[in-house]
Amino acid sequence: MPARRRTLIAGNWKMNGLRQAKAELRAVAAGMGGVGAELMLCPPFTLIAAFAADVAGTSLMIGGQDCHAAESGAHTGDVAAEMLKDAGAVAVILGHSERRADHREGDAVVKAKVKAAWRAGLLPVVCVGETLDERDAGEAAAVVTRQLRQSVPDGATADTLVVAYEPIWAIGTGRTPTTDDVAQIHGAIRHLLAERFGAEAEGIRILYGGSVKPDNAAALLATADVDGALVGGASLKAADFLAIARAAP
Ligand code: PEP
């Protein structure tokens, strides 16, 4: 991996965590000494400000899990990228398959949200991934590259984009693709990024997500073109999250 692509291990807490979960946050911050990878936790909106304040002065980053495309306005229940930034987030997950499924977010919506993240100075982590039917039909690479082409606006750079490849059938199921399959999709993503963004593509990090655990992290993180992990369930426990981070090459 080129020196520029520092491994990123990001935890997606989804709709989990009350204020008492700060204990896990603190355990991650206390245990990250000697970890070479960048670490980020994305708690629910309600915890972002408190978590960001708690880790101020450490290198542990806090991110959001979604944002609205608009800066403000009549969008009951939504949160603007500027609000995440104001609360202390530095990044935001966008286009997660659960958002795409639960809220019918298509690529055009995700693209608008990426622009909002850029407007607010947040790093977007753009998720793409195929269903099991699409994989079985041999369409995984085509689906993922189409999503990426349509979800990421022009002008992305190594500093303004992280991609997360998350096969939907691997999320929360305990199943993972083979490392050969992961390498193939990540290679296709890198190829597309190079077509669109030229030399910047070499610096854009591509995370793998989907049932990453302490016992499979080393193999996945050592796979070609895998620059880190987006971790769901295993990020809720500091010990597991740190074990994954320590497995990074
Ligand atoms: C996710 O939802 O981003 C994810 C990767 O979940 P899990 O690690 O639990 O499969």
Mutate which of 13, 168, 169, 230 for ligand 1 pocket (most atoms within 8 A of beta carbon): 230
67 in any annotated domain: yes
71 in any annotated domain: yes
Does the Cβ of 166 fall within 6 Å of ligand 1? yes
1 in any annotated domain: no
pLDDT of 249 reads 87
pLDDT more than 90, % of the chain: 98
pLDDT of 248 reads 94
Rounded CA-CA distance 204/196 in Å is 12
Q: What is the CATH number of the domain that holds 39?
A: 3.20.20.70
Domain total in the chain: 1
- Residue of minimum CA distance from atom 2 in ligand 1: 232
In angstroms and rounded to an integer, the radius of gyration of the C-alpha atoms of the chain is: 17
Question: Which stretches of 95-246 are assigned E, i.e. beta strand?
Answer: 123-128, 162-165, 205-209, 228-231
Q: Report yes or no: 90 and 58 within 8 Å, Cβ to Cβ.
A: no
Whole-model pTM?
0.97
229 in any annotated domain: yes
Residues 6+ apart with CB under 8 A from 73: none
219 in any annotated domain: yes
CA of 59 to the centre of ligand 1 (A): 23
Q: Is 139 an active-site residue?
A: no
233 in any annotated domain: yes
2 in any annotated domain: no
> Which residues in the chain land under pLDDT 70?
1-3
Containing domain of residue 101, as a range? 8-246
Provide the token pair at 77: 């229940």
Which whole-number Å values give the CA distances from 246 to 7, 36, 182, 229, in the listed order?
Answer: 11, 8, 20, 12
CA of 238 to the centre of ligand 1 (A): 15
158 in any annotated domain: yes
